[in-house]
Amino acid sequence: MLKRVLIANRGEIALRILRACREMGIETVAAYSEADSEALHVQLATQAVCVGPARAADSYLNQDALLTLANATKCDGLHPGYGFLSENADFADACRAAGLVFIGPAGDTIRKAGSKSAARGIMRSAGVPVTPGSHGPVHSPEEALDAAERVGFPVLLKASAGGGGRGIRRCNSAEELPPAFAEAKAEAAACFGSDEMYLEKLVVAPRHIEFQILADRHGNVIHLGDRDCSIQRRNQKLIEEAPARCLSPALRREMGEAAVRAAQAVGYEGAGTVEFLLDADRCHFYFMEMNTRIQVEHGVTELVTGVDLVRQQLRIASGLPLGIRQADIRLDGHAMECRINAEDPAHDFLPCPGKVEFLHFPGGAGVRVDSCLYSGCTLPPYYDSLAAKVLVHAPTRLEAIRKMRRCLEEFTLEGFPTNAELSYEILYHPVFIRGGCTTAFLAEHLPELLEFNRRLAEKEAEA
């Protein structure tokens, strides 16, 4: 087993990793930036070392500093969390070259799955359905236009190394494509260090369904069911749930088998996610991408399966075989997660982190809150605006909705605005209650949701 792990990340995921390590008797070293000196995971780690200034490029993305720190503190493993260097193939290789266990797949696997354009070709060969699109990268607006005319508009231009909704542009016509190509390419280069783009047919108003994968180095690969992540704002998820209400048992089985084939096709090891788009008829699904890391929304899968995914990551990285088989996986009840972000929905979701003046988290049976916040701490403005994840588990979806409503009523964070009220309103929307939401839901209903919030705020102010 691993003895000491460098946590090369921050926020709630760093705390989540730290807790799993402590429960397994693994020592932890927290690498932190100057802006995170008072962070909760820094205070709880076995050892904590400042790795650089607030700017991510000088700290959490500084590969040489992280490897030097791991060597100096005698770590034998490094957990990258999500974001930052978690899907950087060169960094994974550098860790292994330094004699350090990278808690994730090998660099070659990350390259195969991480390049969205290359992954599409691999999935086709593995018999996994993919959306029509370019056969590999498109290097110019002219190449993109040729591919778009072949598959038909509307299309999506997407960064091959992308994630988190960055480097994506929708094009409804040939006239929109050249400027969109330039914008997406520039954003991709700034966010991911690669401006490679590919193009795919836009599946209008789909469901975003993903399957959790676990794979060990002994050839065992299983999936742990599905998650519905269709409630999104600009391709960034807001509410996730498991299992997906829209899947029949037969379709769930077919998609799960496709997800396993996808992981096998790239020689996967560790915890990963295969993401699909399900079209409006709920009969056809298409591979979208594979994330070679732990996901923000991994908690909903843990609640319905009882499997600790971070613990499994640490076991797999230690060379142990999976202790669970596909037949052992049972989806129990329904789980839901609301991401609470430090942002103002009424002002175009402007990020607005700051000092936490007062904080109260909900509790009770079947309630879990993943957060690094505490009263008096400061959420820095330099990184992601995620403040907390509120998760619930109940026997049925309707009971989970009701429990989440109660939790958001209890959730209190004073000091800066959040999107908690918006999530609360979504939970009362009839389309959501019926389970009919597609990825277009928030774009279609945001004005009415914000108007309701505005009127409610006015009433509270008058009272």
The single residue of 227, 293, 339, 368 carrying the catalytic annotation is 293
Is 170 a catalytic site residue?
no
Can you give the three-state secondary structure of the chain, one letter per residue?
Answer: CCCEEEECCCHHHHHHHHHHHHHCCCEEEEEEEHHHCCCHHHHHCCEEEEEECCCHHHCCCCHHHHHHHHHHCCCCEEECCCCCCCCCHHHHHHHHHCCCEECCCCHHHHHHHHCHHHHHHHHHHCCCCECCECCCCECCHHHHHHHHHHHCCCEEEEECCCCCCCCEEEECCHHHHHHHHHHHHHHHHHHHCCCCEEEEECCCCCEEEEEEEEECCCCCEEEEEEEEEEEEECCEEEEEEECCCCCCHHHHHHHHHHHHHHHHHCCCCEEEEEEEEECCCCCCEEEEEEECCCCCCHHHHHHHHCCCHHHHHHHHHCCCCCCCCHHHCCCCCEEEEEEEECEEHHHCCEECCCECCEEECCCCCCEEEECCCCCCCECCCCCCCEEEEEEEEECCHHHHHHHHHHHHHHCEEECCCCCHHHHHHHCCCHHHHCCCCCCCHHHHHHHHHHHHHHHHHHHHHHC
- Which positions are annotated as active-site residues? 293
